[in-house]
């Protein structure tokens, strides 16, 4: 079953004075290698900062564009991994191993199978 591991990170625009440093890139590379070696990695990417986001809404048939992320929060979506593992317990175990787990939450969401049109 496929799961999306959504990585939330502190909003670097307003870091807390006592915020721990982010994990080094080597930790992310090791984590990614472990996913590959386990045959669990389907894909993933880091995202550019929330200041690069553009939010689109349609209200009353009118398109509205907003610069910035959908929500102004202390934590922003920083990236994701798409994994294929046997069950939720396995997905949770991978989430708990993520280098950033001590810096912000990881949301684990199952992928809904999408029927393809014929």
Question: Does residue 115 belong to any structural domain of this protein?
Answer: no
Q: Looking at residue 26, which CATH number applies to its domain?
A: 3.30.70.1060
In a domain, residue 50? The reply is: yes
Distance CA 23, CA 41 (A): 20
Band the pLDDT of 94: cuts 50, 70, 90. Answer: very high
Report the number of distinct structural domains present in the chain.
1
Q: How far apart are CA 12 and CA 74, in angstroms?
A: 9
Confirm whether 47 is domain-assigned: yes
CB 106 within 8 A of CB 23: no
The answer to whether residue 116 is domain-embedded is no
Handedness of CA 63, 68, 69, 70 (dihedral sign): negative
Please report whether residue 118 resides in a domain.
Answer: no
Q: What is the pLDDT of residue 15?
A: 55
Supply the pLDDT for residue 41. 97
Residue 117 covered by a domain: no
pLDDT at 9: 82
Residue 14 has pLDDT above 60, yes or no: no
Q: Is the pLDDT of residue 20 over 90?
A: no
* pLDDT attached to residue 55: 84
When pLDDT is averaged across residues 55-62 and rounded to a whole number, the result is: 90
103: containing domain: 2-13+22-110
| Domain annotation covers residue 57 | yes
Residue 18, pLDDT > 80, answer no
pLDDT band at 82 (very low <50, low <70, confident <90, very high): very high
């Amino acid at each position: 079953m496929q799961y999306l591991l959504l990585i939330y990170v502190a909003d670097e625009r307003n870091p807390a004075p006592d915020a721990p440093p982010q994990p080094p890139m080597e930790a992310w590379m090791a984590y990614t290698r472990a996913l590959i070696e386990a045959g669990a990695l389907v894909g993933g990417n880091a995202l550019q900062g929330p200041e690069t986001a553009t939010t689109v809404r349609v209200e009353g048939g009118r398109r509205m564009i907003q610069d910035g992320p959908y929500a102004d929060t202390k934590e922003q979506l920083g990236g994701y991994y798409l994994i294929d593992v046997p069950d939720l317990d396995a997905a949770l175990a991978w989430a708990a191993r993520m280098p950033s787990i001590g810096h912000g939450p990881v949301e684990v969401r199952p992928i809904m199978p999408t029927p393809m049109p014929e």
